[in-house]
């Protein structure tokens, strides 16, 4: 099983601040997904990155896949209270359709 | 919209009981997955199924079994529940045809407490 380390585990910031969440592995993934989970709900996909070096933007969220497809980052600009939630990265193993999840980052944005 | 439903949102069982968690998806997805989610550990894969009557062990299959008799339904069975199986259980499904996003669609989860 491939491992995916996510950091930080907890992040509490003020509205308007920027933040970055990291996912790192020593293994290569065929794709990397970012999910967001609200309390009492299952994770919902935000974005999938497939190509090494790929950058995708979703409004104030910027996702990047490392050149070697071993790591990824999520950057949020001017965070808002509505961004509060659990953010999970997940790498699709090269051998099949299994996902390996990071430990998650619990983000709290205070008004 | 894809919908994945789980039979219970909350469940309380006693140690030693046999527990059934049901998951149903309505999008004819081939792949289905069972995870457990614990604080600080992320989602850990218990079992998955590529298609009907097929099953593969995930990373933590001990103490669990699964059944997939119909394409839309994937059941997780705790043969003899123990307190260390207290957790949030999430079911997910995925289409093998969706090579654009590789997305897994999750149910709302079942919070199981074993006393």
Residues A29-46 have pLDDT tens digits of: 989 999 999 988 999 999
- CA-nearest of A49, A44, A58, A50 to A88 is A44
CA angle, corner B102, sides to B47 and B106, nearest 5?
Answer: 50
Which of B6, B42, B98 is the best residue to mutate to test the A interface, defined by the most A CB atoms within 10 Å of its own CB? B42
Tell me, what DSSP letter sits at residue A81?
A: G
Range B46-66 average pLDDT: 94
Decide if B4 contacts B103 (C-beta within 8 A).
no
With contacts defined as CB-CB under 8 Å, which chain A residues touch B97? none
Model pLDDT, residue A94: 79
Q: What is the pLDDT of residues A9-24, one digit of tens each?
A: 999 999 999 999 999 9
Residue in A1, A48, A102 closest to B102 by CB:
A48
Residue B11, pLDDT score: 97
Residue entry with tokens 């957790």? B87
B103–A45 C-beta distance less than 8 A: yes
The answer to whether the CB atoms of B44 and A102 lie below 8 A apart is no
CA atoms within 13 A on the CB side of B112: 30
Is A42 part of the contact surface with chain B (CB cutoff 8 Å)?
yes
CA distances for A74 relative to A11, A12, A62, A87, A93, angstroms = 13, 16, 6, 9, 20
Min Cα separation A92/chain B (Å): 8
For range A43-59, the mean pLDDT: 94
Any bridge partners for residue B64, and if so which? B78
Give Cβ neighbours of residue B39 (< 8 Å, ≥ 6 apart).
none
φ, ψ dihedrals at A77, nearest 5°:
-100, 135
In a mutational test of the B interface, the residue from A24, A40, A42 whose CB has the highest number of chain B CBs within 10 Å is A42
B71-89 confidence digits (pLDDT tens)? 999 999 999 999 999 999 9
Residue B84 three-state SS: helix
Nearest-CB residue to A98 (from B45, B101, B107): B45
pLDDT digits (tens, 9 = 90+) for B13-53: 999 999 999 999 998 999 999 999 998 888 999 999 998 99
Residue B102 has pLDDT above 90, yes or no: no
Q: How confident is the model at residue B95 (pLDDT cuts 50, 70, 90)?
A: confident
Q: Looking at residue B99, what is its pLDDT? A: 65
The nearest alpha carbon in chain A to B50 belongs to A97
Mean confidence (pLDDT) of chain A: 93
Say what the pLDDT of residue B100 is.
Answer: 64
**Position A95 pLDDT exceeds 90:** no
Alpha-carbon torsion angle A23, A28, A33, A34, nearest 10: 0
- What size, in residues, is chain B? 115
């Amino acid at each position: 099983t491939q491992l995916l380390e996510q950091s930080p585990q907890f992040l509490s910031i003020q509205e308007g601040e920027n933040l970055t969440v990291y996912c790192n592995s020593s293994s290569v993934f065929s794709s990397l997904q970012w999910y967001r989970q609200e309390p009492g709900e299952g994770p919902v996909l935000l974005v999938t990155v497939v190509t090494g070096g790929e950058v995708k933007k979703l409004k104030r969220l910027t996702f990047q896949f490392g050149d070697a497809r071993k790591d990824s980052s999520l950057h949020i600009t001017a965070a808002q209270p509505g961004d509060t939630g659990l953010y999970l990265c997940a790498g699709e193993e090269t051998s099949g359709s299994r996902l390996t999840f990071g430990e998650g980052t619990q983000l709290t944005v205070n008004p | 919209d894809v919908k994945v439903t789980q039979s219970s949102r909350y469940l309380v069982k006693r140690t030693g009981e046999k527990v059934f968690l049901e998951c149903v998806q309505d999008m004819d997805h081939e792949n289905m997955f069972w995870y457990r989610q614990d604080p600080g550990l992320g989602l850990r894969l218990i079992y998955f199924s590529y298609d009907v009557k097929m099953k593969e062990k995930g990373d933590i299959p001990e103490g669990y079994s699964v059944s997939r008799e119909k394409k839309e339904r994937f059941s997780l069975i705790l043969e003899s529940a123990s307190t260390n199986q207290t957790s949030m259980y999430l079911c997910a499904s995925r289409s093998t045809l969706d090579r654009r996003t590789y997305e897994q669609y999750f149910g709302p989860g079942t919070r199981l407490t074993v006393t």
